Structure 1
Amino acid sequence: MECAENDCENEAAVRLHIPWAENRVVCTSHARVLARQDGVVAEPLEGVDWE
């Protein structure tokens, strides 16, 4: 599964639970930035190879 962010072809590894928008799956790079916003919860996806 690909990252939900525009122009990103990395594999999604994290599901972001966003109170003011739809939840989305993103790569680890986007998750690091987006999960810093108040209220956003990052949940690692099962079965994703982290190496």
Structure 2
Amino acid sequence: MICSEDGCDQIAAVLLHIPWDENRAVCAPHARVLAQEEGIVPDPLPDDVDETLE
């Protein structure tokens, strides 16, 4: 799975639980930045994420 942020083609490593929006799967660098916003909870994705989210 690829990071959901526009223009990013890195592998998603974290699922961000965002209370005011849909949850997003993002790469580690985007997760570090976005998870600093209050209320967002980062959850590391398992290695077999593609199978888990289907």
Q: TM-score, normalised by structure 1?
A: 0.91
Shift of 1:38: 0.4
Within the alignment, does 1:26 sit opposite 2:26 as a pair? Answer: yes
Percentage identity across aligned positions? 56
What amino acid sits opposite 1:26 in the alignment?
V
* Equivalent residue, structure 2, for 1:10: 10
Q: 1:44, 1:8 → 2: CA distance?
A: 18
Q: How many positions carry a matched residue from both structures?
A: 48
Q: 2:41, 2:16 → 1: CA distance?
A: 6
3-state SS of the aligned residue for 1:5? coil
- More helix by percentage: 2
Q: Which runs of 4+ in 1 moved over 4 A?
A: none
Where structure 2 has 5 or more consecutive residues not aligned to the other structure, the ranges are 49-54
Where structure 1 has 5 or more consecutive residues not aligned to the other structure, the ranges are none
Q: TM-score, normalised by structure 2?
A: 0.86
3-state SS of the aligned residue for 1:29? helix
Q: 2:34, 2:11 → 1: CA distance?
A: 16
Q: 2:9, 2:47 → 1: CA distance?
A: 18
Give the root-mean-square deviation of aligned CA atoms.
0.9
